[in-house]
A = this chain, B = another copy of it.
């Protein structure tokens, strides 16, 4: 009764529905008609449902049969999905591709590439991790992700292979309502130090390195988006990736600060993977496509 259902029974059922008769289904499935007949009887018996009306020469689906053919198609579709995933893996595709994406990276080109990845490998299971500072590299080392797309400060560690995708310029900004916004053009470093600086910090290792801290009073944030909220509310100043604040600068909500010193160097965005655990076929394809996508962006 329960659990006695067979995929073969369902294949026979939809074959009959598609071909129009038991005999035709037999020909389609390369079985004799009596085998089809028996399978249907077995299905009807175990499920306790009459599927066909045998009054005429050709059996017609009953109402119940029509509904259950619909259900059967769903089951078979899901089964085909299973086989498709298995075939993908058998053909050398990685079973799943974990990607760690740093919040500071520009997302539109990544999304464009991922969309193409999805079209090319529809059965691939993708996990996307987008978290705060330091998380991308951690996901890589923990094995959650096979590929990371992240800002790298300084030299990438030697056990990681890094492919530069693009450079992100960092812009010091404040809210238009903040006192610094009213300061005349080249703002000296001493002026900056009078105000709170909003810095990002690694949630797991808060004592870890923090970069380009200027002000003596800092507020630390784990989440880029939350920091942006506080920035917009005028709590302090900070440096932000240009592409993230451009719309707010355009709308007048934020003001870029012109300093009396050379601007901070642009930071490279890398696609990174562990040397000992390179990505599989889909991951390698994504790497190439990301490089192309960012080059043309």
Cα A95 to Cα B95 with chains together (Å)? 39
B67 touches A72 (CB 8 A): no
Cα A72 to Cα B48 with chains together (Å)? 26
Q: Lowest 5 CB-CB distances: which A-B pairs, in order?
A: A48-B90, A47-B86, A64-B95, A63-B95, A71-B82
Residues on the B chain within 8 Å of A81, using CB: 71, 74-75
Residue A269 CB within 8 A of the other chain = no
B96 touches A68 (CB 8 A): no
Cα A45 to Cα B82 with chains together (Å)? 15
Residue A79 CB within 8 A of the other chain = yes
Contact with B along A46-85 (1 / 0, CB 8 A): 0111000000000000111011101110110011011101
Contact pick for A79, options B70, B75, B86, CB 8 Å: B75
Contact with B along A68-112 (1 / 0, CB 8 A): 101110110011011101110110001110000000000000000
A6, A74, A89, A90: residue with the most chain B Cβ atoms closer than 10 Å: A89
B63 touches A96 (CB 8 A): yes
- With A78-B74, A81-B71, A81-B74 known as contacts, the answer to whether A66 contacts B95 (CB < 8 A) is yes
A64 touches B83 (CB 8 A): no
Residue A7 CB within 8 A of the other chain = yes
Q: How many copies does the complex hold?
A: 2
Count of residues in A whose CB is under 8 Å from the partner chain: 36
Residue A266 CB within 8 A of the other chain = no
- With A11-B3, A79-B5 known as contacts, the answer to whether A67 contacts B89 (CB < 8 A) is yes
Interface residues of A (CB under 8 A from B): 2-3, 5-8, 10-11, 47-49, 62-64, 66-68, 70-72, 74-75, 78-79, 81-83, 85-87, 89-90, 94-96, 125
Cα A182 to Cα B10 with chains together (Å)? 68
B90 touches A82 (CB 8 A): no
Cα A47 to Cα B87 with chains together (Å)? 7
